[in-house]
Amino acid sequence: MTQRLAASVLLALLIGQAGFAQAEPARPTIVSLDYCADQFVLALADRDQILAVSKDAERRFSYLRDKAAGIPKVRAAAEDVIALQPDLVVRSFGGDPQALAFYERFGIRTVQLGYADDIQGTAQILRDVAAEIGQAARAEALIDAMPGPRVQSGASALYVTPGGVSAGRDTLIDAVLRHAGLQNANSGTGWTSLPLEALVQAPPRLMVTAFFGFDDDATDLWSVSRHPVMQRLVETADVIEMDEARISCPAWFIADEALAISDAAREVR
């Protein structure tokens, strides 16, 4: 009787463990097609989930480039992706959108990253990707660690790029400035050219610059940012150089860039 009871208990335990194993959702294997998608995959997925990341995963503008070391890189070509036989493809802009239906025919699901124009939107993208790859708890931990908005200081700042482009209202950069406790000196809406005449009449005291150290040779020689008047405005203003890798994608770590800008702005005031 004792042996039968022990055997029954053992069998029940084995059945229970088997049922638990079946209930545990399998985490999909993943291929990431571009450096924006790479950030979410590298931050959320277990290393053994990641079959490959994009060719740009270790480039300077990839924020989590150090985590990409040692992980295979893949072209965004459909034949290269299918050869890896992933369960899931994550993309922002990488690859041919027409290939997505092709992936589905091979049983490969596709996660298309959304776009955010505010800090909260970046957190939602993180949640959406995490839900697809079975890492919801990891996403919530990252979101909980995001710096909150700074108290508004009353100071304003102008966003400047080498191409003479700035960001007005309803852009993620505008949201970053506000999160940093600053007002946006660009009163326009969306992405605009630098208003040189208006800047001469009311020179900005603070500028935040981005992408000046990446590839200056690619900048249009006729860009407003190269204009002598604009150069003088830059020389007389306090300039905060942004970490471009933090703003190259609409990702959760853009809140860390807002905090860095806020700290730098307090030092120059």
pLDDT at 219 over 60: no
**Which CATH superfamily includes the segment(s) 30-114?**
Nitrogenase molybdenum iron protein domain (3.40.50.1980)
Cα 82–Cα 83–Cα 87 angle in degrees, nearest 5:
50
- Residues 196-208, mean pLDDT to the nearest whole number: 84
Are the C-beta atoms of residues 168 and 198 closer than 8 Å to each other?
no
- Give the pLDDT confidence of 150-200 residue by residue, as tens digits: 999 999 999 998 888 899 999 999 999 999 999 999 989 999 888 777 788
The structural domains of the chain, with segments of one domain joined by +, span: 30-114, 156-268
Domain 156-268 annotated CATH 3.40.50.1980? yes
- How high is the pLDDT of residue 220? 55
Measured CA to CA in angstroms, residue 232 lies from 106, 164, 175, 212 at distances of 58, 15, 27, 16
- Give the pLDDT confidence of 3-62 residue by residue, as tens digits: 554 444 344 445 455 444 444 457 999 999 999 999 999 999 999 999 999 999 999 999
- How high is the pLDDT of residue 111? 96
Give the closest residue to 32 by CA, choosing from 70, 61, 73, 62: 73
Domains 30-114 and 156-268 fall in the same CATH topology: yes
List all residues 6 or more positions away from 95 whose beta carbon is below 8 Å from its beta carbon. 33, 34, 76, 77, 78, 81
pLDDT at 213 over 70: no
- How high is the pLDDT of residue 234? 77
What does pLDDT average to over the chain? 87
Q: pLDDT class for 107, splitting at 50, 70, 90?
A: very high
DSSP state of 159: E
- Give the pLDDT confidence of 230-245 residue by residue, as tens digits: 778 778 889 999 999 9
Give the closest residue to 155 by CA, choosing from 188, 178, 175, 189: 178
What is the number of other CB atoms lying within 10 angstroms of the CB of residue 70?
7
- Residues 210-225, mean pLDDT to the nearest whole number: 60
Are the C-beta atoms of residues 218 and 86 closer than 8 Å to each other?
no
- How high is the pLDDT of residue 215? 53
- Residues 72-93, mean pLDDT to the nearest whole number: 96
Are the C-beta atoms of residues 33 and 73 closer than 8 Å to each other?
no
pLDDT at 217 over 60: no
User: CA-based Rg of the chain, rounded to a whole angstrom?
Assistant: 24
Q: State pTM to two decimals.
A: 0.84
- How high is the pLDDT of residue 23? 45
Query: Count H helices, E strands: the chain?
Result: 11, 11
- Give the pLDDT confidence of 110-144 residue by residue, as tens digits: 999 999 999 999 999 999 999 999 999 999 999 99
